[in-house]
Amino acid sequence: MIETLLPEGVCASEAFGPDGAAVLYPEEAALVAAATEGRREEFTTVRGCARRAMAALGLPPAPVLPGRRNVPGWPAGVVGSMTHCAGYRAAVLARDADLVAVGIDAEPDLPLPKGVLESIALPQELAWARTPVAGVCRDRLLFSAKEAVYKTWYPWVGTELDFEDAALSFRVDDDGGADGSRRGTFRARVLRPGTAPDGRPVTGFGGHWLAHRGLVVTAIAVPARRAADSAPYDAAGGVGHPGR
């Protein structure tokens, strides 16, 4: 499911339930030794997804340990992102020669708890999120896309970004899939722009979304640029790539 939102060259793995074959490295197991059974399961399964993505990328298995702000630590030369929610876990990886940043998020396709939308949405986003549309909970889609923005931004730019620091707009495909799915694209304009490691400004992102199987999934992939390309990274990037 998640792979349809990402360009070629990205390796993705997902699970819709517990992965009984996934095994933690000792240093990973120590992090969840005192956690609930449910938390240990999601932690273990999503790392199983990560190691399958590593294998698909031609990499040996390795532990995935959280760093600052719980950003996953990936092998050198790799960018990646992980997500988990009730009934779904996924990891995506790419070579940093292909992508400079990637962020994914998954949420149950259910209305947000009372009061959450108002805490994460800008005034111009509220009217859109509150307008019902068949096939997807727009408030949950907005939340998921903002999570994907942060997961793309922070590991790459290295500065904080709050919900109100990105203004999002969405396009919904006119026709749903034969399987009842809905999909589309989104653009995120960063209101507090930052600077990428290569010195170019980062002003926004483009991403893809999918509502299917009771889930809302969002993804952003920022392609690597040639050294001669001095244009900023902006919201046009990432929208145009074809799904697989």
Query: What pLDDT score was predicted for residue 177?
Result: 75
Average pLDDT over residues 127-138: 91
pLDDT digits (tens, 9 = 90+) for 172-211: 886 677 788 899 999 999 998 899 999 999 999 999 999 9
- The burial of 114, by beta-carbon neighbours within 10 Å (0-12 exposed, 13-18 middle, 19 or more buried), is given as exposed
pLDDT one-digit tens code per residue, 27-46: 999 999 999 999 999 999 99
In order, the DSSP letters of the chain are: -GGGGS-TT-EEEEESS--TT----HHHHGGGTTS-HHHHHHHHHHHHHHHHHHHHTT-------B-GGGPBPPPTTEEEEEEEETTEEEEEEEETTTEEEEEEEEEESSPPPTTHHHHH--HHHHHHHHS--TTS-HHHHHHHHHHHHHHHHHHHH-S---GGGEEEEEEE-SS--TTS-EEEEEEEEEEEEEE-TTS-EEEEEEEEEEEETTEEEEEEEEE---TT--PPB-TTTTTSSPP-
pLDDT given at position 241:
54
Count of beta carbons in the 10 Å neighbourhood of residue 129: 21
pLDDT of residue 232: 78
Residue-level pLDDT at 194: 93
pTM: 0.93
- pLDDT band of 242, cuts 50, 70, 90: very low
Distance in angstroms (rounded) separating the CA atoms of residues 65 and 27: 8
CA distance 86 to 82: 14
Q: How confident is the model at residue 238 (pLDDT cuts 50, 70, 90)?
A: very low
Q: CA 56 → CA 30, 98, 182, distances in Å?
A: 27, 15, 28
Is pLDDT above 60 for 65?
yes
Max CA separation in the chain (angstroms): 51
Unique residue bearing structure tokens 């990499």: 59
